[in-house]
Amino acid sequence: MIEVTRRQTLYLASTGMATLAGCSNSSDDGGTDDGNDGTEETIELNGNLPSYASILSESDRPTYFYGAIDFETMSTIIDDEGAEAGDEPTDPLIGNPIVVALLCSFGLSQLAHSRASTSYSANDETSSGEGELVFADGVYALVGEYDRDGLETDLEVEGYERETAEKSYAVYTDAETGEAIGITDEVYAFSYPNPDDDEFEAVAAVERTVETASGDRAPKYATDDEFEALLRAGEPSGITLGLYTADDEFGSEALTDDRPEEDAESLEFEFSPYEGAYGVHQQLSVAGSDASASGVVAYADDNRVDVERLESSLGTEADSLEVTRDGTVVSLTAEYSGDLA
């Protein structure tokens, strides 16, 4: 594993995903075409569950945040060591997923500096381009294929203490740093104490993650129909993120608190357009110099739906923006293109 810098993260290799907003050939009015103008149409909410759905565990926190990036997209960040960052996007429809990439990259850099990095590298059997890196409930989870026996042996050699050893998973800790590591045959999860959150327990969070991944605990979607619908709302490829609350709408703190603390500088999550909603799913994918971004926003009732707020805040730097409303659910799809040479 190598450290992924913020510069590499923002540029996302030769595709230059972070420069799309600044370099797109949009017109003076923003180049958007909201042809549906929020008109009523049917929005599909029964698509396939993403592969990482099975590791999203229950949480006692009022707001649930998750982000995921597939290995193929992440590898473009890692491999392009000569990339230069472009302008930071101000459009949350493309900016929020980029912060997910930044957050996941920070997790990889933590792993790279951990004593467990050698153990992980030696026992990772994941094929190139397959699997995902997921962040949820304060835990990073690398989904792939692992030699669990080899990992356990190496972690113990490195001085990690075994906290839990079940048939399908194990959890280890580093007494010096507080790092917690959970492993199954298909998941390598890790986390650290959060100095800004005294209530967060890294060991307990990691154990919930691998217990859920192994099937010994029901995943969140199995006990919450609205959360399941959110997971099924969009494509799981590229970079995805979700923000959810079991309440009727997000509290004010939920729209500002879920952001990385390290190395973020001025690029942060921007969730204010989702005021009044209870669920959000965003997805970003890149092909060459083009990118497509989407968002599905769910509200508890008609009175809370605010299409005008969404239209004025999202897709502001896109070449085209399509907005569709289906009752209390609003879908946005934007296309971005530009000369990234």
pLDDT digits (tens, 9 = 90+) for 281-311: 999 987 766 789 999 999 999 999 999 999 9
Q: Which has more pLDDT, 188 or 341? A: 188
Residue 71 is assigned to a structural domain of this protein: yes
Contact 330, 321 (CB under 8 A): no
pTM value? 0.82
The total of structural domains in the chain comes to: 1
Give the confidence band of 94 by pLDDT, cuts at 50, 70, 90.
confident
Give the confidence band of 32 by pLDDT, cuts at 50, 70, 90.
very low
The DSSP bridge pattern shows strands 170-173 and 161-165 to be: antiparallel
pLDDT at 320 over 80: yes
Residue 30 is assigned to a structural domain of this protein: yes
Cα 177 to Cα 83: distance, rounded to the nearest angstrom: 32
pLDDT at 164 over 50: yes
Contact 43, 61 (CB under 8 A): no
Residue 1 is assigned to a structural domain of this protein: no
pLDDT confidence of residue 145: 87
Residue range(s) defining the domain that contains residue 146: 6-337
Beta bridge partners of 334: 293, 321
- Across all residues in the chain, what is the average pLDDT? 80
Q: What is the mean pLDDT of residues 87-114?
A: 83
Contact 163, 89 (CB under 8 A): no
Tokens in use for 305?
């739906």
Q: What is the mean pLDDT of residues 26-55?
A: 62
pLDDT at 213 over 90: yes
